Amino acid sequence: QVQLIESGGGLVQAGGSLRLSCVASGDTFSDHIMGWLRQAPGKGREFVAGISQTGSNTKYHDSVKGRFTISRDNAKKTEYLEMNSLKPEDTATYYCAARRGGSILMSPREYKYWGPGTQVTVSS
């Protein structure tokens, strides 16, 4: 129903910034809660940020709050993650994800649709 693909990953220096984009296909993008989740090597997938259908509500993991900003443009069917003040601990594969529901949930298992991921590497 919803297909997602991320872009914008790369290698950046600590303290730098990066903007990730996720373009969705399908007719129901605006009905879905969107999120960004990440997975570091050897670790489980963790929630980073989520945004409600209209963009009025957002939720962030404590480790990125104040540094990352999630947004969406329903007309373009695109989700964004603006990452500032990047730290080496942010190094991970970042995934765009979507769920159809009324709440922004933090469990990766609650998200039905996933992009293939984009790698973000932050050097010291």
The residue behind tokens 């007719």 is: 27
* Cα angle 97, 98, 100; round to 5: 160
Assigned token pair, 9: 């990953």
| pLDDT over 90 percentage in the chain | 94
Q: What is the pLDDT of residue 14?
A: 98
Q: Taking residues 54-59, what's their average pLDDT?
A: 96
Q: Taking residues 30-56, what's their average pLDDT?
A: 96
CA distance 80 to 63: 18
Q: pLDDT tens digits, residue range 24-34?
A: 998 899 999 99
CA distance 100 to 115: 16
Strand 68-73 and strand 78-83: the pairing is antiparallel
Check: CB of residue 80 under 8 Å from CB of residue 67: no
DSSP 8-state secondary structure symbol assigned to residue 2: -
Q: Taking residues 35-50, what's their average pLDDT?
A: 97
Residue 1 has pLDDT above 80, yes or no: no
Mean pLDDT of the chain: 96
Residue 69 has pLDDT above 90, yes or no: yes
Residue 111 phi, psi (nearest 5) = -100, 125
Give the DSSP letter string of 50-74. Answer: EE-TTSS-EEE-TTTBTTEEEEEET
